[in-house]
Amino acid sequence: MLDLRFVRENPEIVKQNIRNKFQDEKLPLVDEVIDLDAKNRAAKTEGDNLRASRNKLSKQIGQLMGQGKKEEAEAVKAQVTANAERLAQLEKDEAAYEERITKIMMTIPNIIDPSVPIGKDDSENVELQRFGEPVVPDFEIPYHTDIMKTFDGIDLDAAGRVAGNGFYYLMGDIARLHSAVIAYARDFMIDRGFTYCVPPFMIRSNVVTGVMSFAEMDAMMYKIEGEDLYLIGTSEHSMIGKFIDTVTPESELPKTMTSYSPCFRKEKGAHGIEERGVYRIHQFEKQEMIVVCKPEDSPMWYDKLWQNTVDLFRSMDIPVRTLECCSGDLADLKVKSCDVEAWSPRQKKYFEVGSCSNLGDAQARRLRIRVEGENGRYFAHTLNNTVVAPPRMLIAFLENNLQADGSVKIPAVLQPYMGGKTVLVPKK
């Protein structure tokens, strides 16, 4: 959420940013919120004057009554009554103005970083860098669920009967591999100085609206019926929410944390064959990283965060690339974002396995996450990035480590988490 004063003083910058995000339908909101703000400030000023006048007139009534000037006192009383009625109307107007202003301000997108490429949608995202050499083996690589089935490692049919589409049973070596990757990712981030945390898996609506846009909320979140609680779609939401209504001494920044959680998502819309199986699902587990820092440090942390994910995947011999998200592909709260994509030898292309975002002070402003510095208080910057999100990551792992005989290599870094196994041997 932007600072209302910034919008008031820089309407053309805000409008151009909206155009750069191809959201022209929001352009009228800028003029509307500026007009509402002017009316609200005028109402507040008039209200303050009436409150000051009320105190003055009340004293006059007492003085006039003491002097026996009852008629004049009654006239002043009538003025006080009229002022009270006007003040009540002004307070009602202020509440209406502020409600509409807040709604608009939570709809106007954050100002994107100047380095973000301008583009309408994800088809115009820009490749930044590749890490590792993509390899296409001289044998056919089956679809990921078919690979898992050779290990008796997945049961989608039973999951469908129990919970419906978008769920799965992982079993045996595949389930163990899933947990091994999560455990390795946890230790990987702890070794890089991040504090490990297991957060709440449900959050209240004020946290939801503090960390994401209304459009994202509708597309992702599951609501708990009858309660002010939502299942988290990613642990960064409850992790950032941890700092709601706090003031942190500048000397204690940055806050760097890595969290484990299950995640729940609606995943609205129809998806093609490449997004079936365990690619796009309603429930998965994830290791996340978040940073709360000083504004001047957020660009540096942004680069550190995506590099962590790249390093993790490269330690497991999986080729990856980074992809800069263009303006039209950025969620409204984001200043800058990039995806980490893993190589798929079967598809002969990369696919998303993580996303790194700098949100500037947008979340901090909504959640009132403040910093106490030498020159007073200011809003922190927040960032987040996926460490690893199996089982999607398992797709990249299985395809890149599959051997011609159907076995799967276990990289050295994962072997301690797999009971020392160096290879998985299929049962079918």
Q: Does the residue 130 lie in any domain?
A: yes
- Residue where one domain finishes, among candidates 105, 135, 165: 105
- Residue where one domain finishes, among candidates 46, 72, 105: 105
Q: Is residue 270 very low, low, confident or very high in pLDDT (cuts 50, 70, 90)?
A: very low
Q: Is the dihedral of CA 350, 353, 356, 357 positive or negative?
A: positive
Q: What is the pLDDT of residue 22?
A: 97
* Angstrom distance (rounded) from CA 312 to CA 316: 7
Instruction: Quote the number of domains for the chain.
Output: 2
Same domain, yes or no, for 65 and 159?
Answer: no
Q: Which two tokens stand for residue 3?
A: 């600072």
Mean pLDDT of 82-86: 83
* Angstrom distance (rounded) from CA 178 to CA 175: 5
Same domain, yes or no, for 137 and 100?
Answer: no
Same domain, yes or no, for 130 and 62?
Answer: no
Q: Is 20 helix (H, G, I), strand (E, B) or coil?
A: helix
Same domain, yes or no, for 189 and 270?
Answer: yes
pLDDT greater than 70 at residue 62: no
Q: Does the residue 115 lie in any domain?
A: no
Q: How does DSSP assign 49-95, residue by residue?
A: HHHHHHHHHHHHHHHHHHTT-HHHHHHHHHHHHHHHHHHHHHHHHHH
Q: In angstroms, how far is CA 318 from the centroid of its own chain?
A: 26
Q: Does the residue 207 lie in any domain?
A: yes
Same domain, yes or no, for 203 and 57?
Answer: no
For residue 56, the domain's CATH number is 1.10.287.40
- Residue where one domain finishes, among candidates 46, 77, 105: 105
273 and 310 in contact (C-beta within 8 Å)?
no
pLDDT greater than 90 at residue 354: yes
Q: Does the residue 111 lie in any domain?
A: no
For residue 187, the domain's CATH number is 3.30.930.10
pLDDT digits (tens, 9 = 90+) for 145-185: 999 999 999 999 999 999 998 899 999 999 999 999 999 99
Domain that holds residue 387: 122-424
Same domain, yes or no, for 15 and 49?
Answer: yes
Same domain, yes or no, for 100 and 149?
Answer: no
Q: Does the residue 93 lie in any domain?
A: yes
Same domain, yes or no, for 260 and 323?
Answer: yes
Percent of the chain with pLDDT over 90: 82
Q: Is 186 helix (H, G, I), strand (E, B) or coil?
A: helix
Element (H, E) at 264: strand 255-264
Q: Which of 276-285, 340-349, 368-377 has the lowest mean pLDDT?
A: 276-285
Same domain, yes or no, for 39 and 181?
Answer: no
Q: What is the pLDDT of residue 83?
A: 81
Pick 171 or 55 by higher pLDDT.
Answer: 171
Same domain, yes or no, for 253 and 338?
Answer: yes
Pick 384 or 82 by higher pLDDT.
Answer: 384
The number of beta carbons lying within 10 Å of the beta carbon of residue 254 is 18
Q: Does the residue 190 lie in any domain?
A: yes
Q: Does the residue 114 lie in any domain?
A: no
Q: How does DSSP assign 162-176, residue by residue?
A: HT-TT--EE-HHHHH
Same domain, yes or no, for 129 and 86?
Answer: no
Q: What is the pLDDT of residue 30?
A: 98
Q: Is 5 helix (H, G, I), strand (E, B) or coil?
A: helix
Residue 110, by phi and psi: left (phi above 0), alpha (psi -120 to 50) or beta?
beta
363 and 352 in contact (C-beta within 8 Å)?
no
pTM comes to 0.89
Q: Does the residue 373 lie in any domain?
A: yes
